[in-house]
Amino acid sequence: MNIVLVTGGARAGKSCWAAEEATRIAGPDVAFVATAERRDQEMADRIAAHRLDRHRSWITIEVPLEVPRAVRDADRPVVIVDCMTLWVSNLLLAADAPGGPAAGEPVGFDAGGPVGSDAGGPVGPVRAEVESLLEVAADRTGTLIVVTNEVGLGLVPDNALARIYRDLLGWANARVAGQAERVVLLVAGIPVELRGDRLPSPPSATT
């Protein structure tokens, strides 16, 4: 699959851009992989609002954890994963349940990714799932649009779990970007092309 990574800050227009790009490429023939969970009423309202914005013929697959399987099984030429931000959070919490990260667990970066990712704890399972998604994309045709957030431009978080999450998502963003044909940064609703060219629409697509 052609991978398109869409990143940026909160409320920058990433999901809207991803939906417009998917429609341009494949019209109504899109699968939407949603990673959000209804943990409270605010999130439930957000999910409902996002549903109304989607094309009626799109299929929606709600999977907080098993994103690689959902992408593999989605029988559509364009698949949107929205978003990797929540997916990594869900994976981290699931891998670490019921306690928090071990005190002093090393999280940083070396040439292979987050330090500590092969030494147990919550980091390794998250890293394995991201690699699985890339393997699935390599085995499929079509386009995979991955929406994510840039969380590395603010202050260093004041607790261990948040620091591990920031490092993991930063690594995941870089790993997917490294395999992407196109990387787009949304700033105040304006797309800034960081890598690649606009992907063509297939001749049979209807918009």
Going 26 to 31 to 35 to 36, the CA torsion angle's sign is positive
- Given the residues 16, 38, 47, 50, the one annotated as active site: 50
Question: Is 50 tagged catalytic?
Answer: yes
Residues 6+ apart with CB under 8 A from 70: 33, 61, 63
Q: Which residues of 117-138 are buried (b: 16+ CB within 10 A; e: fewer)?
A: beeebbbbebbebbebbbebbe
Q: Are 23 and 30 in contact (CB under 8 A)?
A: yes
Radius of gyration of the chain measured on its C-alpha atoms: 17
Give the strand pairing for 78-82 and 109-110.
unpaired
Residue numbers annotated as active site: 50
